[in-house]
Amino acid sequence: MNPKMSRPADPAAVLKRVIRYMLHYYKLPFALVVLCILINAGASVLAATFPQTLVDDYIMPMIASGSTDFSGLAAQILRLVVIMALGVVAAFAYNRIMISISQGTMCRLRNELFHNMEALPIKYFDTHAHGDIMSVYTNDIDTLRQMLGQSTPQIINSVITMAATLVTMIFINPALTVISVLTAVVMFTVTKNFSRVSGKYYMRQQRDLGAVDGFIEEMLDGQKVVKVFCHEEAAKADFAKVNEALRESADLANRYANLLMPINNNIGWLSYALVAIVGSVLGFNGLAGVTLGTVITFVGLNKSFTQPITQVSQQVNFVVTAAAGAQRVFDLMDQKHETDEGYVELVNAKENADGQLEEVAERTNVWAWKHPHHDGTTTYTRLEGSVVFEDVDFGYDENKLVLHDVSLWAKPGQKIAFVGATGAGKTTITNLINRFYDISSGKILYDGIDIMNIKKADLR
């Protein structure tokens, strides 16, 4: 396996690249998403502050005075309903838009990935399992769908909600805010440490998943060979190894990720209880300006402040998996394309009265090599089919030669059979004639023209 495709991902750098890719095509829709998230977060915070207004400004005065006029209270409740309805509409809108953005991004990624793959040299496909490459198109890209469609808006919503809630809490009661902030610091620390550990295992999981897909594809493609050589038991044993590696990496990755949410959830409930207890003590003793409405409101705000961290921790496994999948996607996209520095073309030609060849547009069944020169002149060489190897050296691995000092000449129209044991170089010679690989030294000549100077499209 290519080491580049199996190296650990830097989640932050990879995810930034994913976001940049998405924003390149969907800036305006994403701006609408952020706007809707702001509306939703604002509605949530405003709704959380309503208990203080209802209790301190309406319910307690009504109880003290014995009033039965509920008009003011009803108006406030109606206002609360309108705000919450606005938040619900905004949440529906940003989730719907993000679905379109995520699916559009996935479609563009698959198209770009395929276009890049078509430009890769044959060597890449000879050194990578086809099933592993297919896994990039399916499993790895699908991890981004979950992250872009759900995790990204959830994280943005959580950050905005926390920021708005923190400002509101400080404004209402700085003393109680300290408890919530300290709790949040603990939750952030736990999330950071668990994410760092699970991240490396998620990368292994995606790599091992690709290995399983690659093995299955290879076995299906070569099932007749497996049957002919009675290789079934060996194939079962080999599959058990790659399958066990996938089980182990997935177990470790999900073990840490699934522990994170319950831990943060319990810390959040602990913070909830501390705020209620400390707030009640301050309220009963008339300290720090705490009222019953303050305690009720602050308990709700504390939940709004810590709950986003818990929600983000639920998304961590999706985000880290997406980072691992995106790393493999971008590794494939970043592979170097096949280069072609040839300039000799194969063209239709006809022979003039003086015996010279000239290029023509129509098909003549006469082919010629069109060879432009630095001085601006062009010569035409009739395609005869002469193939010459002169002292050719080649190896798929530069430290291990398959062909050494090979010289041969195939005359026009001559048929030559290559006979030899597996690994002798029969297929290798075919690959070199088509320039699927470039030789290490020596020359290959077509009708006296160096194969390195012929355009690959014309050669093949």
Confidence of residue 90 (pLDDT cuts 50, 70, 90): very high
**Are 160 and 282 members of one domain?**
yes
CB 424 within 8 A of CB 404: no
Element of type H or E holding 444: strand 441-446
| Mean pLDDT, all residues of the chain | 82
pLDDT in tens, 136-178: 888 888 888 878 887 888 888 888 888 888 888 888 888 888 8
Say if residue 195's pLDDT is above 60.
yes
Residue 371 lies in a domain: yes
Please give the pLDDT value at position 28. 93
Say if residue 9's pLDDT is above 60.
no
Rg of the chain taking only CA atoms, in angstroms:
34
Please give the pLDDT value at position 288. 64
Q: Write phi, then psi, for 409 (nearest 5 degrees).
A: -140, 120
How many Å apart are CA 277 and CA 446, to the nearest integer? Answer: 89
Say if residue 1's pLDDT is above 60.
no
How many Å apart are CA 370 and CA 343, to the nearest integer? Answer: 9
Q: Helix, strand, or coil here: 292?
A: helix
Please give the pLDDT value at position 257. 72
Among 333, 353, 368, identify where a domain stops: 333
**Are 178 and 273 members of one domain?**
yes
Higher pLDDT, 6 or 211: 211
DSSP 397: B
The CATH number for 177's domain is: 1.20.1560.10
Confidence of residue 85 (pLDDT cuts 50, 70, 90): very high
Q: How many Cα atoms occupy the beta-carbon half-sphere of 108 within 13 Å?
A: 13
How many domains does the structure of the chain reveal? 2
**Are 438 and 316 members of one domain?**
no
Q: Of 118-122, 203-207, 282-286, which range is least confident?
A: 282-286
pLDDT in tens, 18-53: 888 888 999 999 999 999 999 988 888 888 777 767
What's the whole-model pTM score? 0.68
Element of type H or E holding 391: strand 387-394
Please give the pLDDT value at position 10. 63
Report the relative pairing of strands 449-450 and 403-410 from DSSP bridges: unpaired
Confidence of residue 223 (pLDDT cuts 50, 70, 90): confident
Among 333, 363, 396, identify where a domain stops: 333
The CATH number for 387's domain is: 3.40.50.300
Residue 299 lies in a domain: yes
Tokens representing 76 are: 């406030």
Confidence of residue 67 (pLDDT cuts 50, 70, 90): low
How many Å apart are CA 223 and CA 235, to the nearest integer? Answer: 10
Burial of 266 (0-12, 13-18, 19+ CB in 10 A): exposed
pLDDT in tens, 196-220: 777 778 778 878 887 888 888 888 8
Say if residue 4's pLDDT is above 60.
no
Q: Write phi, then psi, for 345 (nearest 5 degrees).
A: -115, 155
**Are 351 and 325 members of one domain?**
no
- The one-letter amino acid code at 109 reads L
**Are 169 and 278 members of one domain?**
yes
Confidence of residue 192 (pLDDT cuts 50, 70, 90): confident
Residue 241 lies in a domain: yes
Higher pLDDT, 66 or 383: 383
Confidence of residue 3 (pLDDT cuts 50, 70, 90): very low
**Are 135 and 40 members of one domain?**
yes
Tokens representing 399 are: 């430290």
**Are 446 and 349 members of one domain?**
yes
**Are 129 and 199 members of one domain?**
yes
**Are 391 and 308 members of one domain?**
no
Confidence of residue 129 (pLDDT cuts 50, 70, 90): confident
Q: Of 229-233, 237-241, 329-333, 366-370, which range is least confident?
A: 229-233
pLDDT in tens, 375-392: 888 888 888 888 999 998
Please give the pLDDT value at position 153. 84
**Are 280 and 357 members of one domain?**
no
Higher pLDDT, 309 or 113: 113
Query: What's 304-356 look like in SS3?
Result: HHHHHHHHHHHHHHHHHHHHHHHHHHHHHHCCCCCCCCCCEEEEEEEECCCCC
Q: CA separation (Å) from 386 to 309, 349, 358?
A: 72, 18, 21
Residue 383 lies in a domain: yes
How many Å apart are CA 138 and CA 58, to the nearest integer? Answer: 58
Say if residue 66's pLDDT is above 90.
no
**Are 214 and 186 members of one domain?**
yes
Among 333, 356, 375, identify where a domain stops: 333
Range of the domain at 454: 345-459
How many Å apart are CA 358 and CA 12, to the nearest integer? Answer: 60
Residue 339 lies in a domain: no
**Are 102 and 153 members of one domain?**
yes
Please give the pLDDT value at position 243. 92
